[in-house]
Chains A and B, each alone.
Chain A
Amino acid sequence: MSEFDIKKPVVALPDMDPEPQIPEEELFFTEEELERIAGFTEKYPTNRSAVMPALWLAQEKFGFLPPEVMKLVAEALDMPYAQVYGAATFYTQYYKKQMGTYVLDVCCSFSCQACGSYDVLDYLEEKLGIHAGETTEDGRFTIQEVECLGSCGTAPMLQVTNGPYVHNLTKEKLDELITDLRNDKMPPFTSVTLPQDEDEMGGNRRSDVEHTDTYRTPPAPERWI
């Protein structure tokens, strides 16, 4: 069968055989990781369902998911590469290209927009010298404009590399965050105290969290979009 020769594809076709980005000697799962993947498959009736947890595991290990990593996941789950590729490309949190060490996902959906998220984005772009969607030259930071992260009451806010949330952003807080991240200090998990707890219990109800924050009057945005 001859290959289709598409002269002018509307959407750029994916490179079928790209140059591997992960060196071959590093491209493997350890015994322990394979065991964990096998553990994922036990939770579901089919192997295919374990593709999401397996991709998460792969992303934690390799940092991102180039085709060779997707193929590795396909092998581990004994499923076709095309299906892994299909799943991985559907979800935005799976990084298909190399990202910075710290990915700053600034929420810009409407609640955050109304409370100054574009000011936050502007400030970060200015400070790091890159646009949203780009990575700094030293490979340390990537900024992304993302959709609702589900923390609308503490707008504007951001998430660091699919991990902790940073709430109630101000310029000072952003400066502090960037300094901390330059020193490889990730922000801690922060529990935001319910307003009713504040009134009735005098503070956060959880004693197992070290860092708490509260809901505050959001700032008036300078720029909307």
Chain B
Amino acid sequence: MEATNGQTKAGDWQNFERILLPPIRDLHTLDVYEAEYDGYQAIQKVLKEWEPGEVINEVKQANIRGRGGAAFNAGLKWSFMPPKGDRPRYLACNADESEPGTYKDRQLMEYNPHLMFEGILLANYAMEMDACYVYVRGEYADWITHMERELEKLYQKGYVGENIFGSDFSTDIILHKGAGAYICGEETSLMNSLEGKRGYPRIKPPFPAQKGLWDSPTTINNVETLAHVTLVMRHGADWFSAIGAPTHPGSTIYGISGHVNRPGAYEYPTGMLITDLIEKVCGGMRDGKKLKAVVPGGSSVPPLHVDMVDGVTMDADSLREAGSMMGTGGMLVLNEDTDMVTYLRRVNHFYQHESCGQCTPCREGTGWLEAIVTRIDEGEGNLRDLDLLIDLCDQMEGRTICAFADAAAWPVRYTIERFREDFEAKCKPAVFDTGGVTISA
């Protein structure tokens, strides 16, 4: 495969050749991955010619922004690992994709799992890890079975395990099946879950790099991030950072859902215009309706009002300026018929259901958010309830162990701010007794 393949800016997306999910039949099998996609070449080259520290630097230079939601430079995260000591070291691959609206990692697990496995081996070599635990959500049972089959082949061929590819480097990959808990996608909660405990997030510090899985140094990366590591080590950091948005390079899988004609998971460079994604990639809005709102990166990110969408591109910086976040790139498109109160009510129900219950502001707060928005949705709310909701958000944000409470509060805060007319239309008008004269506000 030529080194120029896929090197496309977002403006030229029509000519983009996919790099994560290239059009190769049966790419998910080891044979095809090796024969037709230069599979496991990068790791062999790296094992022979590269020092672990050099791999970290290369990945850092490529500026892979973490694809799990935080968009943090993956190489920089790797460099936080302390020098190798007596303790074992672990990588955890976060495949607990549970954010509503997100289904991109599943496409990789279904169509190109070896790209992830090779990325894991590269990461394990770079950080001198003893093992990688891939935490896959329990609902993806079928995909776990498929991946187990492929992983078995890797062990048989000596690509994983003792002295991989005849080198003196040994490492393991273990698939772990979750059992249905959104919070386990939070990195410290994922670690507790792997240790067999309730999936309660831990207080940071100590950070996972100091004290992670079984109190050993640990790094946690998303599936798509690790898949990109393979591509970076195959083609070089410069090749990678020339794709897509300059500050958020690479391609990404946009999982688009909602009121569009052709929803689906599309791989394109980062930095695509939201309007292009809706109008050109997804064939426009269903039934020719008008756009009302876009939730660009999963349920936790602030929704964008249609007036805010023009010119906004799908990368961390552009979206932050526009008042939202890249999140996971799972984009929900809503049309003019959508009632944002009902939308918010369901989002709140999700957070109420998934709060782990460890911290009071979150456990109680998410319940109240749902209760109050439900009241408004049923026509029993008052205008002052909107202030009450904002006040509740103030009391939740930043006051808990993990960012779950923030993720629950942001949609409430910004949906009310940006779609206030929907809420006001459902609230009872405020009525003051002014001695015979009724004033409504």
Contacts and interface: CB of A to CB of B under 8 A. Distances in A.
B79 interface: no
Contact of A155 (B257, B265, B295): B257
Interface string B11-32: 0000000100101111111000
Interface stretch (A17-25, A91-99, A128-136, A174-182): A91-99
B111 interface: yes
A91 B350 contact: no
A194 B195 contact: no
B345 interface: yes
Contacts of B178: 52, 91, 93
B138 interface: yes
A224 B339 CA distance: 9
Given A91-B138, A109-B100, A115 B258 contact: yes
A196 B23 contact: yes
B332 interface: yes
Contacts of B180: 91-94
B197 A87 contact: yes
A28 interface: no
A91 B346 CA distance: 21
Contact of A114 (B137, B176, B259): B259
B261 A217 contact: yes
A217 B299 contact: no
A93 to B, nearest CB: 4
Given A159-B139, A218-B286, A51 B353 contact: no
A87 B196 contact: yes
Given A56-B179, A109-B299, A162-B139, A46 B343 contact: no
Interface in B242-273: 255-267
Interface in B287-323: 287, 295, 299
A209 B72 CA distance: 36
A90 B199 contact: yes
A152 B100 contact: yes
A164 B142 contact: yes
A180 to B, nearest CB: 17
A123 to B, nearest CB: 18
Contact of B100 (A53, A147, A153): A147
A43 to B, nearest CB: 5
A153 B255 contact: yes
A224 B178 CA distance: 30
Contacts of A93: 138-139, 178-180
A48 B197 contact: yes
A148 B264 contact: no
A110 B350 contact: yes
Contacts of A44: 174, 194, 196
B423 interface: no
B198 A90 contact: yes
A45 B198 CA distance: 18
B196 A150 contact: no
Interface string B175-188: 01111111000000
Interface in A79-118: 79, 83, 86-87, 90-94, 108-111, 113-115
Interface string A47-70: 111111101100000000000000
Given A50-B196, A149-B139, A163-B142, A45 B26 contact: no
A195 B259 contact: no
Given A148-B100, A148-B101, A196-B18, A217 B255 contact: no
A201 B255 contact: no
Given A52-B176, A86-B197, A147-B354, A220 B287 contact: yes
Interface string A150-194: 111111000100111100000000000000000000000101001
B172 to A, nearest CB: 8
B286 A55 contact: no
B37 to A, nearest CB: 12
A162 B332 contact: no
Nearest to B135: A52
A137 interface: no
B138 A110 contact: no
Nearest to A203: B25
B98 A147 contact: yes
A51 B196 contact: yes
A50 B330 CA distance: 32
A205 interface: yes
B262 A217 contact: yes
Contacts of B100: 109-111, 147-148, 152
Interface in B197-250: 197-199, 214
Interface string B69-92: 000000000000000000010000
A109 B300 CA distance: 12
Most chain B C-beta atoms within 10 Å of own C-beta, residue among A56, A87, A90, A217 = A90
A220 to B, nearest CB: 7
Interface stretch (B48-56, B102-110, B156-164): B102-110
Contacts of B255: 152-153
Contacts of B120: none
Nearest to B179: A91
Given A109-B299, A207-B26, A225-B342, A150 B350 contact: no
A215 B262 contact: yes
A52 to B, nearest CB: 6
A114 B88 CA distance: 46
B196 A148 contact: no
B332 A110 contact: yes
A47 B196 CA distance: 8
Q: 6 closest Cβ contacts across the A-B interface?
A: A91-B179, A93-B180, A152-B257, A215-B264, A48-B196, A148-B100
21 contacts: A45-B214, A52-B196, A86-B197, A86-B198, A90-B199, A93-B138, A93-B178, A108-B346, A109-B299, A109-B346, A150-B102, A152-B330, A165-B142, A194-B111, A201-B23, A205-B24, A206-B26, A206-B28, A216-B262, A220-B286, A224-B339
Interface of A: 43-53, 55-56, 79, 83, 86-87, 90-94, 108-111, 113-115, 147-155, 159, 162-165, 189, 191, 194-197, 200-201, 205-208, 215-218, 220, 224-225
